[in-house]
């Protein structure tokens, strides 16, 4: 049984307790412990965490980037010149094993999508892209409408228009 209130995602702080986080994937655990704070501070990625009693139980990281036109789905590349396409990368998303199956992953993704819409208001963005770690992760993202890149089936993307629609926007 989990104790303490589960808080909505907030930007990572030095005071957040990271050392007990375990999502079952060593690469994601290592990222949170060793690289998330440095990347957050340097501005190369922003990490948002959900905590219970200040202990991180879920997180995701966002970074801006671009993809080559040939790597985009037909819908994302449609009507665009053959230049790199501006995207936001969902660089990481993970949930502690103690919270898996609770809907926290879905909540973290929704928060990331909302922040993506906010970012699109101040700069050009065409889509969110995620590099799924495995088939299980791919299945999770496909449930939310992400489509596979024609050059890598684990590289998934969601058109900004679809994000707006899924969140009840215009």
Distance CA 118, CA 167 (A): 12
For 37, the token pair is: 């704070």
DSSP 8-state secondary structure symbol assigned to residue 45 = -
3-state helix, strand, coil in the chain (%, to 5): 35, 30, 40
Question: Phi, psi (5° rounding) for residue 116?
Answer: -65, -45
Distance CA 148, CA 138 (A): 9
Q: Which of 31, 48, 60, 141 is catalytic?
A: 141
Q: Catalytic annotation on 141?
A: yes
> Active-site residues: which are they?
141
């Amino acid at each position: 049984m989990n104790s303490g209130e589960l808080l909505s995602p907030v930007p990572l702080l030095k005071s957040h307790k990271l050392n007990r986080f375990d999502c079952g994937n060593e690469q994601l655990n290592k990222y949170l412990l060793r690289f998330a704070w440095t990347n957050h501070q340097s501005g190369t990625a922003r990490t948002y965490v959900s905590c219970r009693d200040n202990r991180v139980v879920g997180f995701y990281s966002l970074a801006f980037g671009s993809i080559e036109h040939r790597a985009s789905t037909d819908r994302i590349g449609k009507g665009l010149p053959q230049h790199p396409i501006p995207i936001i990368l969902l660089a990481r998303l993970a949930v502690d094993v103690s919270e898996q199956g609770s809907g926290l992953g879905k909540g973290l993704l929704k928060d990331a999508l909302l922040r993506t819409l906010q970012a699109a208001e101040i700069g050009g963005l065409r889509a969110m892209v995620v590099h799924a770690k495995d088939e299980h992760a791919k299945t999770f993202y496909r449930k939310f409408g992400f489509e596979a890149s024609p050059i890598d089936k684990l590289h998934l993307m969601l058109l900004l228009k679809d994000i707006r629609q899924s969140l009840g926007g215009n």
